[in-house]
Structure 1
Amino acid sequence: MPKYKNLELPISISGIASVSALGSSSEEVWKSYRDAIPLFTQKAVGDSVLWVSEIASEADRELRVLQQDPRYKKVDRSVLFAILAARKAVLPKHFSEKNTGINIGSSRGATQLFEQYHSSFLKENSVSTYTSPTTTLGNISSWVGQDLGAKGVQIEHSVTCSTALHALLNGIAWLRAGMADAFVVGGSEAALTPFTFAQMQALRLYSASTNKMACESLRLQKTKNTMVLGEGAAVAVIETGISQRTQAVVKGYGIASEIITHNSSITKDADCFQQSMRMALKKASLETVDCIVMHAPGTVQGDTAEYNAISAVFKEQLPLLTSNKWLVGHTFAASGMLSLELAVMLLKHNRFIENPFFANQRHAPTTLKSVMVNAVGFGGNAVSIIISKP
């Protein structure tokens, strides 16, 4: 098939899975959304006790089994998360029959190992021979490729909290160019480490709440930041065309950046989101969508700016709005793909999952047909994805 023909074919999501506090199977994840109980536990961090979102018990058991494999005794927790999620999302035939690429990114990378090796270096002035190969940025995609037996391109990147959706965009570009038949895309984060907590506290972003509803994502009236850090990985398989495996179709996608005035914030009305959402709507030939899974990290400025952007784009006819960070915390690079997984589930089950901090002004439509997913990272790098039923 000539390469330009690929531009006319739809991009389908033929597999999607995650490992997080939500669970380790699609059934567990959907149940967690329906139960609507924050999945936070308290963790002692230095002199503080913080709310965190750790992987579910079954996922932790799977992780310990995986670590018994001699190949994976020296790799970082972020790699293990990605391997587990990819195994759940990917069919073996993708690698026996197709040229499949892999792009699974991370905001922080091998945080656990990097901090351990750096601590050892400060004490002993030397490091293990495993230090460099197990902490490089390409570590996650390459190990997932090894585990799955993939021979296609294996790349990794970091666009902080929009990393996973940027991976999806990269995969679409490779498929459109005819340089791959399928792509495994996503994000993985295992950043529940002392140095990462210290960074978030230094930015004054972390929730100080003593209540388990600690992350007030989409509570627009809050006056304090309420971000809660989580860990996990989420992975999708995308292909051109529609088949029996197709779970959803990517109808539109948009990307934008803005000139920032602060390293950790976006403009008051999130110009980057306005541009990315309008681009996605134009590519999808839509004027609106049924609902939006927002980025909404639980910070005062982040939540309000995104809401202002949505109001500017959709005006009085706001779609249904929701988020998942009030439930599972902010998983940095994995967060966008976790949101996309929720969007796929909303379409599959034809059920809207409410955010307890935001009262939508209209009822859900009888049939959910289209869902937009937003993500943005430090530096004002926004991505908007629109998916629909096959």
Structure 2
Amino acid sequence: MTTADRSVAVTGLGLITPAGAGREATWAGLLRGTSAAARDPELKCCPVDFSCRIPELPPAVGRIGGGKAWRMGRFTRHAVLAAREAVADAGLRPGDGWDGARVAVIVGSGLAGAAHLEDQTLRFHQGGPELVAPTLVPMLISNMAAGEVALDLGARGPSLATDSACASGASALVVARDLLLSGACDIAVAGGSEAAVTPVVTTGFQRMGALSARGGEPAAASRPFAADRDGFVIAEGAAICVLERTADARARGRRGYALLAGAGQSTDAHHPTAPAPGGVVAETALRAALADAGLSASDVDHVDAHGTSTPLNDLTEAELIGRVLPHGPSVTAPKGVLGHSLGAAGAIEAAVTALTIHHGTVPPIANLTPRDLEFDLDCVTGAPRAQRVRAAVSHSFGFGGHNVVLALIPA
């Protein structure tokens, strides 16, 4: 199979993030380059009391309909809404020329229904078993976002959840591409969703030293690649992509935003939460993605970085970029604006990379100036940068040592 045969087109995008409801609102928020972090009333008793929340969704976007929302966890609802936007954006109409048996759904999440479990545990201890909702299990389990998306769309092909911590959304796209190239489906609806901004989860991250303690200025807390970064800002979000074999998409008149041309994966096997020094194993994933796409390192014009704003991750990733891509591609890090949405982040950032290629514009990193930058990287700061991107990579790294790199090129 040639490299061209192994590409899949990103023909539809759906995004629900702290920057706004929908693809266009999220893109506009990223271009503004202003952090969405703010004080969070639900975290008022926590050592870290700020987050990046999805704003209240307008009725036209946020309504599930059919009396079904009551049975869904928050991460599931967001996945369903993002999937609807992505499918409509791709020009597809379930039930009208849609062979559901040939449609796959893959949705990643790291903590899935943790918020509901936390709430129901409290109810159990305060009032006993009769206060536990009968919807606890379906609102909790990680596969339910994929299951409800499939139910909503009438997709009867392969359906599953990926969980590789903060690389979960990117892992879902890799699985989707593999299913398409194997012939197991003709359309894949894939991405990630997370809604785990809870007091216990947030405090757990705080206790392990992962969160920024910049409580006096939440909007300045997420500072990817800045010398004074001190941790990430916890967030929620969802991104769903519609993927099709490139030839199939073009046959129905769709070129898409970009082509997912290659993917690479590796596992550090180094530490439960810390990356391998220097990104030496993540390098395996990066080089595998480039080889899969038929690209050389010098072909890469742009990097959408994992960029968590933690001291160790950003150091490791900067060393990786400097070593493998020494020619200095542009670098952005959406977590400066959006915070870290954990299992959804990889899918959100893949979607942002596709939009970057499509629009020829690189969003800036929030809270970073050239003076603040610790590393010798070409980070985009201050304002969006017009750039024709011939090839880009999107990095996703997760606790457990999971490394996923996606390579995208113009459609």
TM-score by length of 2: 0.87
Q: Which residue of 1 aligns with 2:52?
A: 53
Alignment of 1:54-133 (within 5 A): 54-57=53-56, 59=57, 61=59, 65-66=63-64, 69-91=66-88, 92-93=92-93, 96-98=97-99, 99-126=102-129, 127-133=132-138
Gaps of 5+ in 2: 371-376
8 A contact 2:365–2:379 mirrored in 1? no
**Range moving further from structure 2, 210-219 or 160-169:** 210-219
Q: Which residue of 2 aligns with 1:266?
A: 275
8 A contact 1:50–1:208 mirrored in 2? no
Alpha-carbon offset, residue 361 of structure 1: 4.4
2:281 alignment partner, SS class: helix
1:34 equivalent to 2:31? Answer: yes
8 A contact 2:48–2:203 mirrored in 1? no
Alpha-carbon offset, residue 6 of structure 1: 11
Alignment of 1:215-234 (within 5 A): 215-219=222-226, 221-222=227-228, 225-234=230-239
1:251 alignment partner, SS class: strand
| Aligned partner (choices 10, 19, 36) of residue 13 of structure 1 | 10
Letter in 2 for 1:102: V
Letter in 2 for 1:286: L
| Aligned partner (choices 167, 173, 181) of residue 162 of structure 1 | 167
TM-score by length of 1: 0.91
8 A contact 1:82–1:144 mirrored in 2? yes
Separation (CA, whole Å) in 2 of partners of 1:350 and 1:382 = 27
Q: Which residue of 2 aligns with 1:313?
A: 324
Gaps of 5+ in 1: none
8 A contact 2:189–2:243 mirrored in 1? yes
Show CA shifts across 1:267-290 (max 9, x none).
Answer: 221123211111111122222311
2:83 alignment partner, SS class: helix
8 A contact 1:190–1:232 mirrored in 2? yes
Q: Which residue of 2 aligns with 1:383?
A: 404
| Aligned partner (choices 279, 288, 294) of residue 279 of structure 1 | 288
Q: Percent identity?
A: 22
- Assess, with a 3 A threshold, how the Cα gap between structure 1 residues 181 and 326 changes in structure 2: closer, same or farther: same
Separation (CA, whole Å) in 2 of partners of 1:60 and 1:388 = 34
1:97 alignment partner, SS class: coil
Two-structure CA RMSD over aligned residues (Å): 2.2
Alignment of 1:192-211 (within 5 A): 192-209=197-214, 210-211=216-217
8 A contact 1:6–1:240 mirrored in 2? no
**Range moving further from structure 2, 361-370 or 341-350:** 361-370
- Count of residue pairs brought into register by the alignment: 381
8 A contact 2:10–2:258 mirrored in 1? yes
8 A contact 2:360–2:386 mirrored in 1? no
- Assess, with a 3 A threshold, how the Cα gap between structure 1 residues 336 and 208 changes in structure 2: closer, same or farther: same
Alpha-carbon offset, residue 23 of structure 1: 1.6
Show CA shifts across 1:53-95 (max 9, x none).
Answer: 11134x26457533x6422213211111101100100144366
